[in-house]
Structure 1
Amino acid sequence: MVVPLLNLHVRSLGVSPVVAGIVGSSYGILQLFSSTFVGCWSDVVGRRSSLLVCILLSALGYLLLGMSTNVFLFTLARVPVGVFKHTLSISRALLSDLVTEKERPLVLGQFNTASGIGFILGPVVGGYLTELDGGFYVTAFICCSVFLLNAGLVWLLPWRDNGWSLDGKHTTEPIKSEGTLQGGAATTSTARRSERTVQAPWVEVMLALKDMKNLIFSALWDVFLMRLLMGVAVMLYYSNFVLALEERFEVRPKTTGYLISYTSALGTLAGFAVGPILRLYKHNSYMVLLHSNVLTCLLLVVYSTTYSMAMVVFSSTLLSFSTTIGRTCITDLQLSVGGAQASGTVIGVGQSVTAVGRILAPLLSGVAQEISPCGPPSLGAALALVAILIMTLNRPPISGDGSERLKQE
């Protein structure tokens, strides 16, 4: 609801594209330093407590955003959101705890479908309200109210952290996984943590981070680099989408909001296609990810070079499918290579990588936008091409029929 309007709003405060990019990067900087810690924290204290805190403080951020009448207040409002808006990451970690590995891509796809419903309704409401006097501020307050409603649901609904006790420690034996690279190391790390005496949560978080360090830099560096490049590529596409359509085709923000909602609806439907596509590829997440990235790269080129609004709609339509499939597969690939015993940490590190993209994307978008409205998506296509080359040259150690763990199951 609010995200597509942020660039337009900060520009309305009277700043240049470069300054707007710097301000927009503040969110990514905070996400960079908080994602991994929040992921570890959710592993230590439990999903419910961490989820509730993140929702409430995110609501505070949107409340402040609704009162941002200058650049300082706008930047200040991004602080609590940047630090604590990890609700989707914690939810994904919770789902990873609850399902088997073979079911995980399908469940994550369904989860992305459910979360995508908000991207269907949000841009329509936001695009409509922003044309009213003070509409952006009303939109921010509505977003705050939605977060408060979610906090109430987490607090009131019956809840049982599967396999987690009140102090955040595992109460059941973790599911054993065979044939995973670094699986033994992850299991050993889990065993060491289970043998430690009860310590302060922040100490447990630091110990978990130390256990994950070697794994991340030895087995996952190429996966995270692919995630970074593709994330920045897609962010560059969305970063000036409303503004670019207004400058290139004189499309009003309200109409652009309808287009965003349309593509979000298609992205939601794409979540239902994850299961059949994985079965078609024999659960080979790597090949699905590679092909979706190739399609994304080609569509960014089409969007950047077209002079027809019809081609914009066409490229946006297919991008909604390719990016949805890609997001699901990259998360599954992370967990397959890194192991699911510390799923919150692995997903948290992935979110930190995405946060680096959120830092770089506004800066790169601001500079590229000074050259042309087509600059950001053109740069995104180039980064996507680099990601494809890295995937081709540095294939993760996963067998042709899916991960080794899938074969064992």
Structure 2
Amino acid sequence: MFNKNKNLNLVYALSFMDLFAVGLTVPLFSNHLRELGASHFTIGLLNSLYSGLQVISGPIVGSWSDVRDRKSVLQITLLLCSLGYIALGLTNSILFIAIVRILLGVTKHTQSICKAIITDLVPPCDRASALGRSTALGSLGFIIGPTLGGHLIELNNGFFYVCSFTSVLFIVNVALTSVISEIKAPKKGQINQQNPIFTKLRYEFNKSITDMTEIDWRAFWDVFLLRFIFGFSVTMYFSQQSVYLKEEFQLSQRHVGYTISFFSATGMASAFLLHYITSYFYKMDDSCLKRLTHFFLLMTLSLICLYLAPNFELFLVILVPFSLSCTILRIVSMELMLKKASSTHRGSLSGTSNSIMSIARFVTPVTSGLISDKLGGHSAMLFSAVSPLVGTLVSLWMKLRTVDKKND
């Protein structure tokens, strides 16, 4: 029990440090590229490159953690991320930055591996609570990171300091991972550890690909669809948020940043409250579908109300239920997927889930841009309510189908 609690607390710390590190750099990346002379198209291309590589590498890295073990895979990927961020701060070449983004797109899977570790450690009845704490602490990191990064960037050669600090945080996470007690994923066969390292890596890569073919992917299409709808909904909103707030309420960029921090803080509180919400209102919701239906509907209504908000004060009030729905849908949709997963494929499915979210982040900017060009920016904000409405209908259909199967 002591080792289990120690490991869980270390995973929570990893989630916090990871999103703290990401929050330092990501909000500043586009502006840094503009200062280097990159066009908007180039910036979009680099962001799409990262998301596209996440789509491909997520299931592979997750399956690798099933074949090898979570701890060593996490250490290797964290170390490579650390090297990537220090390289990002040392270069002014757009081409070299693109190469570094390729490295980060392939290796940056900390959150999905952490979720797989939590699933290994925690029984099904406690997973939602544990995932909620991990999400809450990650949100806290994303509140602090952008604020500190905004101060560091104002120094001479500020982006270098931001990237260096980010790199150090990944090294700290490597050290934290080394303290975790050995977490072995179930394996179906081992290679002789005396073999050369490249032989072992080739074996692990081949076995990772082979194991992925053994998963019955058809059994997860509905869960992946809900994850995609959720990712599309949130990304559609955030792709419009800054422009909408500036045009509708004449907010400065600083106040837009405060609004994002308020959203993250509300999300953190929601994640901590998830256990109590589930205990009091959803005790019998073993399938997770009742929660998914309710909170997709809450997200739909919140987005419509955000569009209709006559002033900024009311906009902030409505952000609270929107943030609550985002946080709970992120956790509960992951819980539903992990309930269906076998112990030998949790890493693969966690990585695939991350890839589904990356696909949503990949296609949303294009969709948002087309709607804004054809119908106007405000229409794109209203259109963001369409996808969670679809999510409400899909989860309701899944719930009714489950009831019919039980009655049969």
TM-score (norm 2): 0.81
Change in Cα spacing, 1:169 to 1:387, as seen in structure 2 (3 Å) is closer
Partner of 2:11: none
> Which deviates further from its counterpart, 368-377 or 312-321?
368-377
Where does 1:125-136 land on structure 2 (aligned, <5 Å)?
125-130=148-153, 135-136=158-159
Q: Where in structure 1 are there 5+ consecutive unaligned residues?
A: 171-192, 405-409
Q: Given the alignment of the two structures, is residue 92 of structure 1 paired with residue 96 of structure 2, yes or no?
A: no
Change in Cα spacing, 1:283 to 1:146, as seen in structure 2 (3 Å) is farther
1:386 to 387, 390, 400: 390
Write the letter of the residue equivalent to 2:77: C
Q: What displacement does 1:132 show?
A: 5.9
Contact 2:51–2:105 (CA<8 Å) still a contact in 1? yes
Partner of 2:141: 118
Write the letter of the residue equivalent to 2:234: V
Which string of whole-angstrom CA distances, capped at 9 and with x for unpartnered residues, describes residues 190-223 of structure 1? xxx35x87782112212210111xx222x21111
> Which deviates further from its counterpart, 141-150 or 240-249?
240-249
Q: Given the alignment of the two structures, is residue 146 of structure 1 paired with residue 169 of structure 2, yes or no?
A: yes
Contact 2:139–2:267 (CA<8 Å) still a contact in 1? yes
Q: Given the alignment of the two structures, is residue 317 of structure 1 paired with residue 332 of structure 2, yes or no?
A: no
Partner of 1:183: none
Partner of 2:12: none
Task: Report the Cα distance in structure 2 between the residues aligned to 1:314 and 1:136, rounded to whole angstroms.
Answer: 34
Q: What displacement does 1:106 show?
A: 1.2
Contact 1:223–1:396 (CA<8 Å) still a contact in 2? no
Task: Report the Cα distance in structure 1 between the residues aligned to 2:304 and 2:349, rounded to whole angstroms.
Answer: 32
- Say which SS state the counterpart of residue 374 (structure 1) adopts: helix
Change in Cα spacing, 1:120 to 1:99, as seen in structure 2 (3 Å) is same
Contact 2:186–2:344 (CA<8 Å) still a contact in 1? no
Partner of 1:269: 269
Partner of 1:234: 234
Partner of 1:211: 214
Task: Report the Cα distance in structure 1 between the residues aligned to 2:358 and 2:71, rounded to whole angstroms.
Answer: 23
Q: What displacement does 1:373 show?
A: 3.9
Q: What displacement does 1:15 show?
A: 5.5
Contact 2:82–2:171 (CA<8 Å) still a contact in 1? yes
Partner of 2:181: 160
Q: What displacement does 1:111 show?
A: 1.4
Write the letter of the residue equivalent to 1:320: S
Partner of 2:80: 57
Task: Report the Cα distance in structure 1 between the residues aligned to 2:121 and 2:301, rounded to whole angstroms.
Answer: 37
Write the letter of the residue equivalent to 2:391: A
Change in Cα spacing, 1:232 to 1:255, as seen in structure 2 (3 Å) is same
- Say which SS state the counterpart of residue 290 (structure 2) adopts: helix
Contact 1:23–1:75 (CA<8 Å) still a contact in 2? yes
Where does 1:270-309 land on structure 2 (aligned, <5 Å)?
270-279=270-279, 280-284=281-285, 285-309=288-312
Task: Report the Cα distance in structure 2 between the residues aligned to 1:249 and 1:135, rounded to whole angstroms.
Answer: 31
Task: Report the Cα distance in structure 2 between the residues aligned to 1:10 and 1:276, rounded to whole angstroms.
Answer: 44
Write the letter of the residue equivalent to 2:283: K
Task: Report the Cα distance in structure 1 between the residues aligned to 2:255 and 2:159, rounded to whole angstroms.
Answer: 16
Change in Cα spacing, 1:114 to 1:300, as seen in structure 2 (3 Å) is same
Q: What displacement does 1:68 show?
A: 5.5
Q: What displacement does 1:122 show?
A: 1.4
**Identity of paired residues, percent?**
29
Q: Given the alignment of the two structures, is residue 48 of structure 1 paired with residue 71 of structure 2, yes or no?
A: yes
Task: Report the Cα distance in structure 2 between the residues aligned to 1:254 and 1:128, rounded to whole angstroms.
Answer: 12
Q: What displacement does 1:370 show?
A: 4.4
- Say which SS state the counterpart of residue 124 (structure 2) adopts: coil
Task: Report the Cα distance in structure 1 between the residues aligned to 2:159 and 2:310, rounded to whole angstroms.
Answer: 30
Contact 2:226–2:391 (CA<8 Å) still a contact in 1? yes
Q: What displacement does 1:60 show?
A: 2.6
Task: Report the Cα distance in structure 2 between the residues aligned to 1:241 and 1:5, rounded to whole angstroms.
Answer: 17
1:332 to 332, 335, 352: 335
Task: Report the Cα distance in structure 2 between the residues aligned to 1:17 and 1:345, rounded to whole angstroms.
Answer: 34
Contact 1:29–1:358 (CA<8 Å) still a contact in 2? no
Q: Return the structure number with greater helix share.
A: 2
Task: Report the Cα distance in structure 2 between the residues aligned to 1:40 and 1:331, rounded to whole angstroms.
Answer: 17
Contact 1:59–1:148 (CA<8 Å) still a contact in 2? yes
Which string of whole-angstrom CA distances, capped at 9 and with x for unpartnered residues, describes residues 231-281 of structure 1? 011012223534543444343333322222222122111112111222221
Change in Cα spacing, 1:5 to 1:245, as seen in structure 2 (3 Å) is farther
Q: What displacement does 1:390 show?
A: 2.0
Q: Where in structure 2 are there 5+ consecutive unaligned residues?
A: 1-22, 193-199
Partner of 1:184: none
> Which deviates further from its counterpart, 279-288 or 13-22?
13-22
Give the length in aligned residue pairs. 370
Write the letter of the residue equivalent to 1:351: N
Q: Given the alignment of the two structures, is residue 81 of structure 1 paired with residue 104 of structure 2, yes or no?
A: yes
Write the letter of the residue equivalent to 2:237: Y
Task: Report the Cα distance in structure 1 between the residues aligned to 2:32 and 2:59, rounded to whole angstroms.
Answer: 30
Q: CA RMSD in A?
A: 2.9
Contact 1:301–1:381 (CA<8 Å) still a contact in 2? yes
